[in-house]
Amino acid sequence: MQEQQEQIEQTAKQPQLSESTLRRQERLPVYLFIWHICNCPTTKKKGITPIFPMCRTSWLKGVKAGIYPKPFKTGLGKRQNAWRTEDILSLAEKISRAK
C-alpha cells in the first residue's frame, strides 16, 4: 500500500510531455546527434527534419554558454558527441511553453 502511494507521488512529480512530443519521442533514437538537432549539411543529405531550426554553430555556441544541454562522448570515435533524447525533448517542451 505504501509502495503504491510512493509510486503515485513519484509519477506526479515527473514532468508531463505534450502529445506531439510523445509522438516525436516514439520515432527518435535514445541518443541524438548534431544532425538530428539542428540544420547542417549532413541533415540535408540524410533527409532528416531537425528539431530546432538553427545552424550548427549557433547550437554549439549555446552549448558552450550553458543554454543548451551538454553532449557526451559516444565512444564511436574521438570526436563523436551525442545528446540524450529526453534532454533535447524537455528543452523543446520548455521553449514551446515559453511562447
Question: How many domains does the chain fold into?
Answer: 1
State residue 32's pLDDT score.
Answer: 87
DSSP E strands, 1-99: 31-32, 72-73, 81-84
Is the residue at 54 inside a domain? Answer: yes
Is the residue at 88 inside a domain? Answer: yes
Is the residue at 30 inside a domain? Answer: yes
Is the residue at 5 inside a domain? Answer: no
Q: Does residue 95 or residue 28 have the better pLDDT?
A: 95
pTM: 0.64
Look up the domain containing 46 and give its range: 20-98
State residue 14's pLDDT score.
Answer: 47
State residue 42's pLDDT score.
Answer: 67
Using one digit for the tens of pLDDT, what is the confidence trace for 75-94? Answer: 777 778 899 988 998 998 88
Is the residue at 78 inside a domain? Answer: yes
Is the residue at 44 inside a domain? Answer: yes
Is the residue at 8 inside a domain? Answer: no
Is the residue at 15 inside a domain? Answer: no
CA-nearest of 53, 65, 63 to 87 is: 63
What is the grid cell recorded at 50?
A: 531537425
Task: For residue 29, give the 3-state DSSP assignment.
Answer: coil
Most confident of the ranges 39-43, 46-50, 62-66, 72-76: 62-66
Q: Does residue 25 or residue 76 have the better pLDDT?
A: 76
Q: How far apart are CA 52 and CA 60, in angstroms?
A: 12
Radius of gyration, CA atoms only, the chain: 16
State residue 12's pLDDT score.
Answer: 46
Q: What is the largest CA-CA distance in the chain?
A: 55
